[in-house]
Structure 1
Amino acid sequence: MTKRLQSKYKINRRLGQNLWGRPKSPVNRREHGPGQHGQRRRKPSDYGVQLAAKQQLRFYYGNITERQFKNIYQEAVRRRGDTSENLIGLLERRLDAVVYRLKFVPTVFAARQFVNHGHIRVNGKRVNIPSYRVQEGDKISIKDASKQLVIVLEALDSPERDIPEYLELDTSKMEGTFLRTPQLSDVPYPVRMEPNLVVEYYSR
């Protein structure tokens, strides 16, 4: 088992939730936290609830750094409209998140690596930056030499996830289109996300 996989499962157990909805998550079998004796769970404070909501959302997108996450939040604040909805929209426009949603790979961690290794094209051009911000109408595809990779074929055939309505996939071309920026209610999170608590956390 890789260190990354171990860390991912530890995150699930620490949060007490199957964050990515994977059938092999240890949370499905063990409810206690990581460690030999688990963790005693006490009623969290308001700060603890807000922190947990922030960590849950940050971890979901491949455990992006705190600095990156805070920068995304600050941009969400600067934009017009509801800050929590803006935050979700910006996170879902990350290239690695879009690659994951299109089912080109099985996990968001794999999506980051897939983009880093140059397997993805945006409007026909190679993009290897996971945080690249996709625009409405952009075409996201897999380069020809990577279309027969086992990880890609297995992910596309997997019944674990459905492709959300704000994306469109042409399976024959292995090309997706980012139709629109989603709202919170559009995003198929396996667990409840509360970006409003994230806003409260950073507004303290």
Structure 2
Amino acid sequence: MARYTGPKSKIARKFGEAILGPSKALARKNYAPGMHGKGKRAKVSEYALQLKEKQKVKYTYGILERQFENLFHKAAVKEGITGENLIKLCEARLDNTVYRLGIAPTRRAARQLVIHKHIIVDGDVVNIPSYSLKPGQLVGVREKSKSLEVVTNSLLGKATKRFNWLEWEATEMVGKFISYPERDQIPENFNEQAIVELYSK
């Protein structure tokens, strides 16, 4: 599956959650997309539920299948609970951290900022969205990119929403990835255990 670039409302209706950002369509049409969306649904198998959870995480963080498999294997060999490790590794991605810091309004916009070399890590330009941050690393906006409209507008809108595992210095436009977040600090509604069960088959 290539990276999804279609309507966000379709995905929101598919999962019953606005996982790609706010969606008015979800309030208006609170049922699955397609001509059979309102029809009687057959009983969903355990495998289908597990696959749905995996797809939800992949869509949320914008991760492709092979990248996701690699992340899962890294999570499996780390100390701790595999499912929680997986979500923590997703949170440590550079594009996600740029979004969480409020530098970009969405993860998709954050990915674009990283690719176009507007973001620096420890003072050096990094243009790899999947770059995995380590605790203590600094993430900031490149000097000549600080006046970008998308960045300034996003920072104004996110002034009140901050996360415990990140620090933000507004005057310098630099954030710090303090530590991997605990699972209960991550607001997204995932059933990561279902993904572990899917891969253990």
Fold-level similarity (TM above 0.5): yes
- Evaluate the alpha carbon distance shift between residue 137 and residue 68 of structure 1 in structure 2; reply closer, same or farther with a 3 A threshold: same
Unaligned residue ranges in structure 2 (runs of 5+) = none
1:201 aligns with 2:198: yes
Secondary structure class of the residue paired with 1:33: coil
For 1:128, give the aligned amino acid.
Answer: N
Aligned partner of 1:180 in structure 2 is 179
- Structure 2 residue identity aligned to 1:156: L
Confirm or deny: 8 A CA contact 1:121 1:142 kept in the other structure: yes
The count of aligned residue pairs is 197
How far the C-alpha of 1:160 sits from its partner, in A, is: 9.2
**In structure 1, what is the Cα distance between the partners aligned to 2:195 and 2:131?**
22
Which residues of 2 match residues 15-26 of structure 1 at below 5 A? 15-22=15-22, 24-26=23-25
The answer on 1:168 being equivalent to 2:170 is: no
**What is the match of residue 148 of structure 2?**
149
Q: Check 1:187–1:161 CA distance in 2 against 1; reply closer, same or farther (3 A cut).
A: farther
Which segment drifts farther, 11-20 or 107-116? 11-20
- The equivalent of 1:93 in structure 2 is 92
Deviation at 1:188? 2.3
Indicate the larger mover: 140-149 or 7-16: 7-16
- Kept in 2: contact 1:95–1:130 (CA 8 A): yes
Conserved 8 A contact 1:12-1:19: yes
- Residue number in structure 2 paired with 1:13: 13
Report the Cα offset of residue 7 of structure 1. 3.2
TM-score, with normalisation over the residues of structure 2? 0.91
Q: Is the 8 A contact 2:102 2:158 kept in 1?
A: no
Displacement of 1:78 after TM fit? 1.1
Amino acid at match of 2:33: P
Q: Which residue of 1 aligns with 2:128?
A: 129
Deviation at 1:32, TM superposition (A): 2.1
In structure 2, the partner of 1:102 is: 101
> In structure 2, what residue type is equivalent to 1:93?
A
The one-letter amino acid of 1:187's match is I
**In the superposition, relative to structure 1, how do residues 138 and 183 fare at CA in structure 2: closer, same or farther (>3 Å)?**
same
Q: Cα offset for 1:81?
A: 1.3
- Large movers: runs of 4+ above 4 Å: none
Query: Bigger CA drift: 151-160 or 180-189?
Result: 151-160
Instruction: List runs of 5+ in structure 1 lacking aligned partners.
Output: none
Per the alignment, residue 57 of structure 2 pairs with: 57
One-letter amino acid of the counterpart of residue 43, structure 2: K
Q: What TM-score, normalized to structure 1? A: 0.90
Give the letter aligned to residue 116 of structure 2.
Answer: H
C-alpha deviation, 1:158, in angstroms: 1.3
